Structure 1
Amino acid sequence: MTHWKLTLSYDGTPYSGWQVQPTLPTVQGRLASAIQHVTGEVVLPQGSGRTDAGVHALGQVASFSLTVPIPAENLRRALNRALPPSIRVLSVEEVQPEFHARHSAAGKTYEYRIFPRVPDGVDDRICSPMIAPFVWDCPWKLDLGLLQAAAGSVVGEHDFTSFAASDPDLATRSQADAESLEPHSEQRSNVRRIERSGWEERDGLYVYTVRGSGFLHHMVRNLVGTFVDIGAERLPVDAISGILAALDRSAAGPTAPARGLFLVEVEY
């Protein structure tokens, strides 16, 4: 038995998220089919996290085990031939049996990208269809300074209940499946530690980067939606502390669209 770690990049636009679902195209489902096509073995690769429908990845990690012997580079090339162009295997490496893509993760980095149509009062910018599937074409004028100030308010350890959506899948999963998808400690608590949280202007986009120990369902998108309310001056810049203290999802802003979110890196 050989234990494998894959690093993947994918365009999430055509998929109903990572998690395999009956009759729907998913990244996990496509990867499992490619593994079976290449090796003849039926496995369900475990991801570092379940990206939602439309969310992209630059560095998703998956793990699984095979009995068939195959060199790592041969496996990478064969999987890329079997996968659709929207999913690429960047690297394949053999790991110890105890490695698990989700449970072994020490931290994750996400990016969220906004196309601000009206920065500095210029209201005739048009979002190119070449980038539209990968950004939020935001219709409001946003103050980058306010975005930056708001983002800094979540650095540190906090209870992020106000920024967590209920997970619609957990009620229908078996306990064994749920345990394979989320560490025990994270199932019991909505406390997370954020080490980096900030906005920058990059190539005409406003880009939010956040690194933390782990993230709740829709947490990054809910943070971005709230930051945008602050950047558009619909909420005061010091609103974050009160929203965190409320421990109530209704206290925070809306959920930002999935298409602007990227899983950038998983650390082990």
Structure 2
Amino acid sequence: MRNIKLIMEYDGTSYSGFQSQENALGIQGVLEKAIESVTGEKIKLIGSGRTDKGVHALAQVANFFTESSIPAERFVYAINSNLPDDIKIKHSEEVDANFHSRFSARKKRYRYIVYNGKIERPLYRNFSYHISKKLDVEEIRKSLPYFIGTHDFKSFMGPKTKFKDTIRTIYSIELEQNGEFLEFIIEGNNFLRHMVRIIVGTLIFVGIGKIKKEDLQDIINGKDRSLAGITAHPEGLFLEKVYYD
């Protein structure tokens, strides 16, 4: 059996998330069907992690096992010919049999885009979170260091989280501003359900004065979801990169 690694990009607007679900359309199921059309085999696609409904990916990673003799680099073209316009494979290669897109991952980078303008931009409505109230960007910047390091992020965990261990490490968190667009770039070893969106939602609360940056340490230490800010909308979130050794 050959182990094929895929790197893909997708617009998550029309999907229930990456993971296959019985009563909803998941990106994983669409990909498995496309791969099966190419190989003639029943395929189980292994993703680097789940992305929620409406969340996008610039470089999601997945792998599958096959007995197909198709050259590894040709899978990208063969699979894409069976995919809709909002899901495409960017790269395909054969990897070691021990490679696992989820368990072999060392860290991930997410990008979250906020549009901070008075009037919503129709062309960006599916790819950014619109906040019409003016944000204090400098106050948000001063808040970023509180999240860096190894912490118990239970206060930033969404419902229905299956992880018992809520300790995670954030290696870096940056804020880039381009006019009315704010982009949060977060790298960590792993993330809890909704963790990035709740961190961004909390920073938005700092930016509008609902939370003081001096209270962030107490929010982290409190391990209580009710202490943190909102869960920012999914459309602003992009899985940007998955790192491997």
Sort the TM-score into its range (normalised by shorter chain). over 0.9
Task: Write the distance in 1 (CA, Å) between the matches of 2:145 and 2:181.
Answer: 19
1:155 is aligned with what amino acid?
A: I
Report the alpha carbon displacement of residue 203 of structure 1 after superposing the two structures with TM. Answer: 5.2
Task: Write the distance in 1 (CA, Å) between the matches of 2:174 and 2:142.
Answer: 8
SS in 1 for 2:5: strand
Task: Write the distance in 2 (CA, Å) between the matches of 1:214 and 1:63.
Answer: 19
Deviation per CA, 1:198-244: give whole Å up to 9, x if none.
21202531000100100000000000110000010111122210100
Q: Which residue of 2 is the match for residue 55 of structure 1?
A: 55
Report the alpha carbon displacement of residue 23 of structure 1 after superposing the two structures with TM. Answer: 3.2
Task: Write the distance in 2 (CA, Å) between the matches of 1:35 and 1:27.
Answer: 12
SS in 2 for 1:148: helix
Q: Which residue of 2 is the match for residue 193 of structure 1?
A: 169
2:208 is aligned with what amino acid?
A: A
CA RMSD between the two structures: 1.2
2:219 counterpart (227, 243, 261): 243
2:44 is aligned with what amino acid?
A: L
Runs of 4+ in 1 over 4 A off after TM superposition: none
Q: Contact conserved, 2:74 with 2:92, CA < 8 A, in 1? A: no
Q: Which residue of 1 is the match for residue 201 of structure 2?
A: 225
> Structure 2 matches for 1:1-268, cutoff 5 A?
1-117=1-117, 123=118, 126-167=119-160, 170=162, 187-202=163-178, 204-268=180-244
Q: Contact conserved, 1:158 with 1:193, CA < 8 A, in 2? A: yes
Task: Write the distance in 1 (CA, Å) between the matches of 2:157 and 2:222.
Answer: 12
SS in 1 for 2:88: strand
What are the ranges of 5 or more consecutive residues in structure 1 without an aligned counterpart?
118-122, 171-186
Q: TM-score by structure 1 length? A: 0.88
Q: Contact conserved, 1:8 with 1:60, CA < 8 A, in 2? A: yes
SS in 2 for 1:134: coil
Q: TM-score by structure 2 length? A: 0.96
Report the alpha carbon displacement of residue 129 of structure 1 after superposing the two structures with TM. Answer: 1.6
1:58 is aligned with what amino acid?
A: L
Report the alpha carbon displacement of residue 148 of structure 1 after superposing the two structures with TM. Answer: 1.1
Deviation per CA, 1:22-56: give whole Å up to 9, x if none.
13111101000101111111112111110000000
Q: Percent identity?
A: 39
Q: Contact conserved, 2:156 with 2:198, CA < 8 A, in 1? A: yes
Task: Write the distance in 2 (CA, Å) between the matches of 1:101 and 1:14.
Answer: 24
Q: Contact conserved, 1:152 with 1:198, CA < 8 A, in 2? A: no
Task: Write the distance in 1 (CA, Å) between the matches of 2:164 and 2:154.
Answer: 12
Deviation per CA, 1:154-211: give whole Å up to 9, x if none.
001101000011336x5xxxxxxxxxxxxxxxx4411111111121202531000100
Task: Write the distance in 2 (CA, Å) between the matches of 1:239 and 1:15.
Answer: 36
What are the ranges of 5 or more consecutive residues in structure 2 without an aligned counterpart?
none
Task: Write the distance in 1 (CA, Å) between the matches of 2:86 and 2:145.
Answer: 34
Q: Contact conserved, 2:157 with 2:195, CA < 8 A, in 1? A: yes
